[in-house]
Amino acid sequence: MNLRDLPSIDLCLRAADDMVLQYGRPLTYRAFVWVLDEARQMAKTGEGIPTLEEVIVRANRWLRLWTDPRLLKVINATGVVLHTNLGRAPLSKAAIAAMAQAGGNYTNLEFDLATGKRGKRDDHIGHLLHTLTGAEESLVVNNCASAVLLTLSALAKGKQVLIPRSQLVEIGGGFRVPDVMKQSGAKLVEIGTTNKVNLNDQLEKYDEARNPADVISFVAHRSNFQIIGFTEEPTVAQMSVVAHQFGSILIYDLGSGAMLDTAKYGMQHEPTVVEALTDGADLVLFSGDKLLGGPQAGIVVGKRVLLDKLKKHPLARAVRADKTTLAGLAATLTHYLKDEAEREIPIWRSISATPDWIKARCEKICAWAGVGEVIPTLATVGGGSLPGETLPSWALAIRSEGLQASLALLRKREVPIVARVENNLLMIDPRCVEESDDEMIAQALREIYI
């Protein structure tokens, strides 16, 4: 076994013109170095010397591994509309087009075309949010967690922040409200108990304060869990009255960012941004990629005097949104202005889809696939919105051995399909699936089961 039998890198490159053309010479060179070094180590353990053809195959495998995209389109057949692990809200066609245009061109992001001088990036969104919500001012940052951190850092550093103990929430990824308050320099003051909070709890803290204006009230909407049973909690409107009585402010972390009434779709009513402002919140914070249905963003709306402080804080630049986010968000907000959100925004199409329409699609997929049965089921909104709420739906259910193996095979498709297992059945719920993908699902099921 002679290492001299290994092909040279120069020979490999000459024999792999197509790889050089596809991946570029530097990266192809690196792949051959990697494979040949690996071959030398293997030869020392008694393994054979690879041929030129084998070296090319192995190098090509590394090149694909290095360059193939990791972030892929997947088909969400789980019945969870806002699936955090699957990227939450898919965007409308208008939002995608707006982001592509902004990303592929120079823009007037911070340039005033009328004066030829420096402009403000907030101007591209502010008029839309003002028209939709009536808020005096607004600010867009990169996500709602950033919005909370920036707001507390700018307004509450060194101050007491009152929050009901029932709202000390943790959301995905270990993001905890108490930890964010600590990071901002605010002094967390819990009021009430886990299940019982009343206005006297809030009043007492203001009465005890040396300067009540240095005490801020904070409300965190419980968007991912419920407290039921022997409970009591004041409304946002009631808490805002108390805060304003002492010359203080109330900040409302609404989270989901609903602009439409979810009760219209058979679910409990989710507080909307407009309602939060009407109830007296001085600032309302919410996400762009939850019930709003747009790109990931954190949005703050409310009093101009407060938002001016946020915009001047050094952290504001660190967490600001980029031009593509602003473009996609503007297109999404425009759908609401034009009263077309239910038709144009994918998550609202999914939420508003009728059970009969979903059942018909299940039957079509079932007929194409030649496997399974169509049964009623329940879908959820997910994404930290409307906890415990379900939507009546239908699914193609398949009973078989090795359900986890079947799930894995679906995920290994060129376009991965993510389904769920329930009651020992593989469940395909097309509520969140584009109708054009139905045949792809049927084809996958045929290949697995027939």
pLDDT at 197: 85
pLDDT at 167 over 80: no
The C-alpha torsion from 418 through 423 and 426 to 429, rounded to 10°, is -60
Contacting residues for 96 by C-beta, under 8 A, at least 6 apart: 328
Q: Which of 311, 363, 360, 260 is nearest to 140 (CA)?
A: 311
Phi, psi of 175 (to 5 degrees): -75, 115
Q: What angle do CA 223, 257, 348 make, to 5 degrees?
A: 100
- State whether residue 375 is helix, strand or coil: strand
pLDDT (tens digit, 9 = 90+) per residue, 42-96?
Answer: 877 777 788 999 999 999 999 999 999 999 999 999 999 999 899 999 999 999 9
Q: How much is the pLDDT for 184?
A: 86
pLDDT at 230: 62
Distance CA 305, CA 137 (A): 9
What integer pLDDT is reported at residue 223 of this predicted model?
Answer: 59
Q: Given 3.30.1490.20, 3.30.420.40, 1.10.10.10, 3.90.1150.180, which CATH number is that of 75-83+346-449?
A: 3.90.1150.180
> Mean of the pLDDT values across residues 113-141?
95
373 DSSP β-pair partners: 397
At residue 350 the predicted structure's pLDDT band, cuts being 50, 70 and 90, is: very high
Closest CA to 374 of 352, 349, 353, 357: 357
Share of the chain above pLDDT 70, in %: 96
pLDDT higher than threshold 70 for residue 225: no
pLDDT reported for residue 298? 96
User: What's the pLDDT tens digit per position in 205-215?
Assistant: 998 888 998 99
Query: For the residues 170-178, what does the mean pLDDT come to?
Result: 65
pLDDT value for 174: 61
Per-residue pLDDT at 408 exceeds 70 = yes
Q: Does the pLDDT value for residue 98 go beyond 70?
A: yes
This prediction has a pTM of 0.90
pLDDT higher than threshold 90 for residue 222:
no
Looking at the predicted structure, is the pLDDT value of residue 178 above 80? Answer: no
Which residue type, as a one-letter code, is found at position 33? V
Residue 372 tokens, joined:
């399974």
Percent of the chain with pLDDT over 90: 76
Name the DSSP letter for residue 328: H
pLDDT recorded at residue 139: 98
Chain segment 289-326, per-residue pLDDT in tens: 999 999 999 999 999 999 999 999 999 999 999 999 99
Region 317-346 average pLDDT: 97
What does the alpha-carbon distance between residue 181 and residue 375 come to, in Å, rounded to a whole number? Answer: 47
Chain-centroid distance of CA 261 in Å reads: 21
Higher pLDDT, 250 or 256: 250
Residue appearing with tokens 């009969």: 356
Handedness of CA 178, 181, 186, 190 (dihedral sign): negative
What pLDDT sits at residue 404?
94
Confidence at residue 170, expressed as pLDDT on a 0 to 100 scale: 65
The one-character DSSP state at 102 is H
Average pLDDT, the chain: 91
Q: Most confidently modeled of 3-7, 187-191, 356-360?
A: 356-360
- Among 3.30.530.20, 3.40.640.10, 3.90.470.20, 3.40.50.261, what is the CATH number of 91-342? 3.40.640.10
Q: Hey, which residues does 272 pair with through a beta bridge?
A: 258
**What pLDDT is attached to residue 49?**
83
Q: Are 347 and 357 in contact (CB under 8 A)?
A: no
pLDDT of 395 over the 70 cut: yes
Indicate if the pLDDT at residue 229 is higher than 80: no
Over residues 189-198, mean pLDDT: 82
Contact of 125 with 329, CB cutoff 8 Å? yes
| Residue-level pLDDT at 253 | 93
User: Alpha-carbon distance 438 to 360, whole Å?
Assistant: 11
Confidence class for position 177, pLDDT limits 50, 70, 90: confident
Higher pLDDT, 389 or 58: 58
Mean pLDDT score, 130-141: 97
Q: Taking 80 as the threshold, does the pLDDT of residue 171 lie above it?
A: no
What is the average per-residue pLDDT within 262-287? 94
For residue 255, the model assigns a pLDDT of 86
User: Is residue 416 over pLDDT 70?
Assistant: yes
Please, what is the Cα angle at 445 between 443 and 449, to 5 degrees?
Answer: 125
Confidence of residue 5 (pLDDT cuts 50, 70, 90): confident
